[in-house]
Amino acid sequence: MKITEKRIRQIVKKVLLKEKTKAKGRDAKTAKGKSILDYINPADKKAGYPFRAWVNAEYPELAQAKRKQDVELKPSVLSKIGSSIKRFFTGEKAKKNKIVKGLDLDKEGRPNNSYIRKAWIMLGDEYLDDVGEKEAPSKQEEEDIKEARQLIRKILLSRMR
């Protein structure tokens, strides 16, 4: 398979941005280990909009509550979210009464800020179950990335000689 220089540049930019974002500690993983960076491209300002819209539609009370505001979770919500929510209970009273702090997640916003990362950790698994994991990197994209990395190594090695 031949890959164009333009495509290599796109892949390299995406890989570098993903690595830079991880290095800055801006990666968030769900309870099942699904990374936000595999589903939401931090370079695309509108990439997080579908997830944000889904959270606001499915959990409006939680999404719209301010970050310091307590939100009591209903049993139906708890059964859906499962174990990923447990780490957000702060204190014994919160654990007993199933209270978490609000997400304050707007329908639009940056794809890599702390608001969307917290929402991803809390609700990412359910989102992926609901909409499917079709947004994950495809096999072809992974192969393109591997090929681009090999080409970059060859280029760098040839320049060093």
Determine the structural domain holding residue 89 and report its residue range. Answer: 28-36+43-137
Mean pLDDT of all residues in the chain?
76
Tokens of 23: 């290095």
* Residue at 80 is within a domain: yes
Number of domains in the chain: 1
What's the pTM value of the predicted model, to 2 decimals? 0.63
* Residue at 115 is within a domain: yes
Angle between the N-to-C axes of helices 139-160 and 5-23, in degrees from 0 to 180, rounded to the nearest 10: 90
* Residue at 161 is within a domain: no
How far is Cα 65 from Cα 116, in angstroms, rounded to an integer? 14
Taking 60 as the threshold, does the pLDDT of residue 94 lie above it? no
Supply the pLDDT for residue 53. Answer: 92
* Residue at 49 is within a domain: yes
